[in-house]
Amino acid sequence: MAVGMLGEYLLGNAAELGKVVEVVVADHCKRLKFDLEPALEAQLFYWKDGGREVDIVVELFQKPLPVEVKYRDRIDKRGLRGLEEFSRRFGCSLGMVVTKDRLDVDGSVVMVPLWLFLLMC
């Protein structure tokens, strides 16, 4: 598959594009961790309990920051249950959702569009 076709394929396939965005966000979370707390290797974690999950968990200043990637037009509350459960269980005061284009704060959840997240990290 030619590089140009790969771009067209990704733009036309929301599920595959979402996977690529998740990898890019994970890489930038590692950069953020290293910039704020330089160490030999910045580790990220994935959390799952039953049917609930959090895409990325990064520890910043000895506290977990759960990051969910929802690169889509519509984000419903049901899709954030894993983030909410993780935050409740581990006492997180902040959770982050990387979105396609939504910038919002909903309680302790900050929604940041991908382009802004990439500029921050």
CB 44 within 8 A of CB 30: yes
Domain ranges of the chain: 3-120
Write down the pTM of the prediction.
Answer: 0.87
Q: pLDDT tens digits for 23-75? A: 999 999 999 998 888 876 788 999 999 889 999 999 988 899 999 999 988 99
Separation of CA 53 from chain center: 12
63-113 per-position pLDDT tens digit = 999 999 999 889 988 889 999 999 999 999 999 999 999 999 989 999 999
The CATH class of the 3-120 domain is: alpha beta
Q: What is the CA radius of gyration of the chain?
A: 15
b/e burial code for range 20-56 (CB count within 10 A of at least 16 → b): ebbebbbebbbebbeeeeeeeebebeebeeeeebbbb
